[in-house]
Structure 1
Amino acid sequence: MPQRTVTPMDLKVAPQTDMLPAKKKERIEEVTLLRAFAFLAITMQHSIAEYIYRSDILQPDAIMLAMLFDFTRFGTPTFVFLSGLLLFYNNNGKLSYWPFVRKKLVDIYLPFVCWTVIYWIAVQGVAFGQLGNPADWPRTLLRELFLPTYGYHLWFIPMIFQYYLLFPLFALAIQKVRQKLQAMPGGASFRRMFMIVAAIGALYGILMWLSSYRMPDWAEDWGGLWASVISYRSYYFVFYFFYFLLGAVCAFGLQRWRRFVEDGFIWYGFAFIALYIWQGYEILNHSTETINLNFAGYLRPFTFVLIVSQLLLLYGIIWIVQTRGGAVCRIFRFIGTYSFGGFLGHAFVLMLISSITRPLALTGYHLSAAVLTFALTAAGSIGLAKLLSKLSFGRWLIGTTGKQANRNRIKASPAQQTFPQ
């Protein structure tokens, strides 16, 4: 998912500071692999959602699907992390705001609008048969552009776009912090940065606690407009800000970040396993006849800690293995290259597959059906994105990707390269 800037930032850096990117920036190879895993995680979640609440599902299948669902919660936060990483890493402090926003509107928001219309037609016309009522079109379509429900995954685009629109403020705040850190020795600056990130993480954890345990009551007590504002809090950038901040930390200290995740990935693994088991227990403990996946929600404090540990673990593993190459890495790089188009279109592919599977009696086979659906959906949506990239109007549907992105990267300055493939 994309990224941007607005106000100039003075990015002059002490030459020996490994907290800051070098003047000639390397391509971050692990970004493409992380995008692939994030896309696959989201596709798995939505495939699981097709089956886990069916009335004929057996308990063993439901439990296994719940554990798979919990395992893949890192998907959306990873895209937010990558947005922060690429935004700050590629910024050289000289971007013009409106050209930057215009380009993002074309590369990101235009595909969102096109797919919103596609999902609206598919649901309103095919599923509901209501396209014969033109008087209702403006209301329903306009709502989908702001609060997507037919393309249920598209909420991510308006949310992430808030970071692009507000990027000058983020850049200014981080510039102030960096100016203070630059005066410190490398080790001291890293420790101070770690303390700052930990403090913000604690505040973010409090926000997640409020979101889980207080805000639902506030919405009920206050009612009216405030109830609507609170109910749609998952659409607001602030509720994903910590992952964006981690991306910025990675951008400004890439080599140090790589050492950090490589040296500690075994400990992150232990932490993730412990947290994953405990959250799985919480999900099952609060489930009755049906699985309660609310206890794996993004805006819960425990899920936040789980996702951070998993993100650090995943980055460390990818950094260690990606240099070895091989066929598996090439496959994941291909998926990562077309992950944005695949993300936009995967719910449509899943819709087609579910039109076949929903009438079927699958008692005892929901787990295998969900895994097969995931494989077909992932392959179909990436294949669709690849096909659309070959068409002259493909950019309207999948943004700039593949060979076109590579050409743009060669022509563009580092400040303009914000979504490397």
Structure 2
Amino acid sequence: MKNNTMIKEVFLLRSIACLSIVLLHAIEIGIESIKYEIGSFTYLVFDSIHVFLYYGTPMFIFISELLIAYSYRKKNIPKDFLRKRFTFIFIPFLCMALFYSIPYASTFQDWVLKFFLNAFIGDFHGYFVLIIFQFYLLHLFFHHYLQRVKPRVIITISFLLNAGYLAFFNMTEPYNILYSEYIWERFYWIPFFGWIFYFSLGYYCGLYYERFISGLKKHKAAVTALPIVSSTFLLYVYHSELITVHSSKRIDMMLHTAAIGFFILYVTSYMKKIPNFLIFISQYSFGIYLLHFFYLLLFDAIYNIYPGFLGISYVFLLFFGSTTCSIITIYHLNNWKYGKYIVGKIGAGYKNKANTSYTVAYKQKPLQS
């Protein structure tokens, strides 16, 4: 894709989503190792930050569909659309599914089972890839239909479907059926019903991108206030134990993700330049997503053997260390001709321009809300 078809705001949004996921996991892993070194108040603060950051994974789904809808709104989807994504997204996913199954290889049967679970049921942090491939197919099959339907109708239906699906698993106990504990604990993450709202929202935001950004600017008071409201509500529901699920698959995460995403896009739309550091992170985001968890576990294993009593700074050392090591690994593997099939390609960059304004780039149909 040429640079003039890229959306500058998405580079910042993708990099923030990526770093949020790394920090989320750094808190999750690090806080367990230092919980006896910090006070209860500090633990409470970081536990709250942990819940707040769960918007990262659904944000990636929103971004993915927004970009596809934006990129192909005035041209046909190419025939090699799925092949390219299978080559540079799904094959690296399978490589990481294999890689993260190795610690379970005490017996050949255990290793094969774990690899199968990782690759086909998403039993590791890379499960996100299985979800976006479902949406690639939904986009291919339904995008012509979605263009003709009022956005308000589709977004409302998908929100209710998504909310009902998550509410069922958030608020009920496992049934007395085979593998129910696993289904309630993890497998319900994989079917697209738990993410369909982010897909439909991303689709229409991408299809009508210029008008979407104009709408954010028109309603700037609401866009600015919504993240405060959604964060307050999210933390209230969590700490009052109305919903105790520690996951991005919380029903209240739907509005929270939309609020955070809209706010970031709104702020970024006024920026003349995206910081080069964040463009860089965006380029490496897929590989960071795949690799960071390995380095977090590696550093934490070393720390538990040789504890340093670092306090809360340990979380930030995990965050910076895993991000940096992931980038170095991605860079060197991409210098090898087969490396991009293991950790994914380094993404396209973005050349900052002096001025970026949003005018209607093509003749759109009237927005039917």
Give the shorter-chain TM-score range.
0.7 to 0.9
Distance 2:153 2:339 in 1: 45
Q: Give per-residue Cα distances to partners, 1:347-376, cap 9 Å, x unaligned.
A: 11212211222345576x542211221122
Number of the residue aligned with 1:48: 27
| Contact 2:24 2:50 survives alignment (8 Å) | yes
- 1:352–1:87 Cα change, 3 Å: same
Change (3 A) 1:265 1:375: farther
TM superposition score normalised by structure 2: 0.83
1:385 to 325, 330, 334: 330
- The residue that corresponds to 1:234 in the other structure is 189
Deviation at 1:105, TM superposition (A): 1.4
Residue equivalent to 1:412: none
- Tell me whether 38-47 or 155-164 shows the greater mean CA deviation: 155-164
Which residue is equivalent to 1:139? 113
Q: How far apart in 2 are the matches of 1:64 and 1:227?
A: 30
Report the RMSD for the aligned CA atoms in angstroms: 2.9
Work out whether residues 107 and 396 of structure 1, in 8 Å CA contact, stay in contact via their aligned partners in 2: yes
Q: For the residues of structure 2 that align with 1:119 and 1:62, how far apart are their CA atoms?
A: 29
> How big is the shift at 1:168?
2.6
Given the superposition, is the C-alpha separation of residues 262 and 383 from structure 1 closer, same or farther in structure 2, using an over 3 Å criterion? farther
1:286 is aligned to 241
Deviations 1:190-227 (A, max 9, x none): xx5346534543443333323322xx33x324x12677
Corresponding residue number in structure 2 for 1:347: 293
Does the residue aligned with 2:336 lie in a helix, a strand or coil? coil
Tell me, what secondary structure is at the counterpart of 1:373? Answer: helix
- Mapped contact 2:282–2:347 kept (Cα < 8 A): no
Q: Deviations over 1:148-205 (max 9, x none)?
A: 44xx31111112111123333331430331xxxxxxxxxxxxxx53465345434433
Distance 1:393 1:253, change over 3 A: same
Does the residue aligned with 1:220 lie in a helix, a strand or coil?
coil
Q: Which amino acid aligns with 1:254?
A: Y
Number of equivalent positions:
345
Spell out the pairing of 1:179-258 with structure 2 (5 A cutoff).
Answer: 193-194=151-152, 196-198=154-156, 200-213=158-171, 216-217=172-173, 219-221=174-176, 223-224=177-178, 232-258=187-213
Look up the match of 2:276: 330
How far did 1:303 drift? 2.2
* Residues 283, 349 of structure 2: 8 Å contact kept: no
Note if contact 2:295-2:326 (Cα within 8 Å) is conserved in structure 1.
Answer: yes
Using the TM superposition, give the Cα deviation of residue 331 of structure 1 relative to its aligned residue in structure 2, in angstroms: 0.4
Q: Is the 8 A contact 1:33 1:333 kept in 2?
A: yes
Asked if 1:69 corresponds to 2:50, the answer is: yes
- The letter of the residue matching 2:190 is Y
Distance in 2, Cα, partners of 1:356 & 1:253: 49
2:7 corresponds in structure 1 to 28
Match of 2:344 among 391, 396, 399: 399
Deviation at residue 405 of structure 1 after TM alignment: 11
Distance in structure 1 (CA, Å) of the matches to 2:49 and 2:142: 35
Flag the 1:119–1:193 CA change in 2: closer, same or farther, 3 A: closer
> Which residue pairs with 1:411 in the alignment?
none
SS at match of 1:313: helix
Q: What is the identity, as a one-letter code, of the residue corresponding to 1:58?
A: G
In the alignment, structure 1 residue 301 sits paired with structure 2 residue 275: no
Match of 1:101 in 2: 82
Question: Residues 360, 282 of structure 1: CA spacing in aligned structure 2 closer, same or farther, 3 A cutoff?
Answer: farther
Residues 1:68 and 1:404: Cα distance change in structure 2 (over 3 Å): closer
What CA deviation, in whole Å up to 9, does each residue of 1:51-102 have, x standing for no partner? 33455253122112112212312211111011111222222553465x4322
Letter in 2 for 1:341: G
- The correspondence of residues 84-99 of structure 1 with structure 2, limited to 5 A, is 84-91=65-72, 94-95=76-77, 99=80
User: What letter is aligned with 1:166?
Assistant: L
Three-state SS of the structure 2 residue aligned to 1:224 is: coil
Tell me how far apart the structure 2 counterparts of residues 142 and 207 of structure 1 sit (CA, whole Å).
25
Tell me if structure 1 keeps the 8 A contact 2:231–2:256: yes
- The percent of aligned pairs where both chains have the same amino acid is 23
The aligned amino acid for 1:338 is Y
Counterpart contact for 2:279–2:350, Cα < 8 Å: no
Q: Cα distance, 1:280 vs. partner? A: 2.1
What's the counterpart of residue 364 of structure 2?
none
Counterpart of 1:164 (choices 122, 131, 136) is: 136
- Tell me if the contact between 1:279 and 1:296 (Cα under 8 Å) persists in the aligned partners: no
Which residue does the alignment assign to 1:173? 145
Shift of 1:248: 0.8
Quote the Cα distance in structure 2 between the aligned partners of 1:279 and 1:146. 31
In structure 2, C-alpha distance between the alignment counterparts of 1:124 and 1:202, rounded to whole Å:
39
* 2:170–2:245 contact (8 Å) kept in structure 1: no
Higher mean displacement: 197-206 or 273-282: 197-206
Alignment-mate amino acid for residue 395 of structure 1: K
Contact 1:36 1:332 (8 Å CA) reproduced = yes
Deviation at 1:37, TM superposition (A): 0.6
Gaps of 5+ in 1: 1-23, 178-191, 288-292, 407-421
| Aligned residue in 2 for 1:188 | none
- Which residue of 2 is the match for residue 414 of structure 1? none
Whole-angstrom CA distance in 2 between matches of 1:358 and 1:298: 28
